[in-house]
């Protein structure tokens, strides 16, 4: 299968990136784009999260519920996003038209890749080893890692977002990071015209 963008990781950063990309479906520059997300969720820190300090979430909200809600939200609002479940990425390799992403079950080709995994060791995706470095913001005692990037961009067509991009582990930060990458990709699709996507209430 071929994609215009393939997101690796189904935590908050990855799903937020997918939601923003999906919401641009009626724009001319995004209308026929093929978007996929490999839904790694078992290692997401949301699995054990309890939220009392997030704007818009009722105190006591559970991270594991957000993971389920995110999948349902994508299914209901943006069914054109391909959710890929029960696959683990083994390699991200350069390809003549972008990248080849190899999982334990399939091989995918994509023009853009977004890495949205957490910052824990071990990091074992072949083809990305040269970008792994010590995390710049995490507690040094925790020995976390990130992928070397500049404003989320590792190199042309290859992005990182969330903690793997060097941000702290915080729900709002991860969501903002995923949205930032999505708007960068939308800007690229829109002939490099700065682009953001917001729905609006129709005025009477």
What would the two tokens of residue 132 be? 């792994």
Low-confidence ranges of the chain (pLDDT < 70): 203-204
As a residue count, the chain comes to 204
Q: What is the pLDDT of residue 201?
A: 84
Cα–Cα distances in Å, from 9 out to 57, 96, 144? 22, 24, 17
Is residue 13 within 8 A of residue 121, CB to CB? The reply is no
Helices (DSSP H) in the chain: which residue ranges?
12-23, 63-77, 171-189
* pLDDT, tens only, 128-184: 999 999 999 999 999 999 999 999 999 999 999 999 999 999 999 999 999 999 999
Q: What is the pLDDT of residue 44?
A: 86
């Amino acid at each position: 299968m071929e994609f215009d963008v393939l997101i690796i990781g189904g935590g908050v950063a990855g799903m937020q990136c997918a939601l923003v990309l999906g919401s641009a479906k009626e724009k001319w520059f995004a209308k026929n784009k093929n978007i996929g997300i490999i839904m790694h969720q078992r290692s997401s820190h949301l699995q054990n999260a309890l939220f009392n300090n997030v704007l818009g979430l009722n105190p006591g909200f559970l991270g594991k519920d957000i993971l389920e809600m995110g999948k349902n939200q994508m299914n209901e609002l943006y069914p054109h996003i391909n959710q890929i479940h029960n696959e683990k990425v083994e390699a991200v390799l350069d390809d003549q038209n972008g990248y080849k992403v190899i999982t334990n079950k399939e091989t995918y080709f994509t023009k853009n890749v977004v890495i949205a995994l957490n910052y824990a060791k071990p990091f074992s995706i072949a083809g990305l080893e040269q970008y792994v470095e010590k995390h710049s913001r995490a507690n040094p005692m925790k020995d976390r890692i990130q992928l070397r990037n500049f404003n989320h961009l590792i190199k042309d067509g290859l992005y990182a977002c969330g903690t793997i991009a060097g941000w702290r582990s915080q729900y709002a930060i991860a969501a903002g990071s995923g949205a930032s990458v999505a708007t960068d990709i939308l800007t690229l699709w829109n002939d490099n015209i700065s682009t953001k996507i917001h729905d609006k209430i129709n005025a009477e």
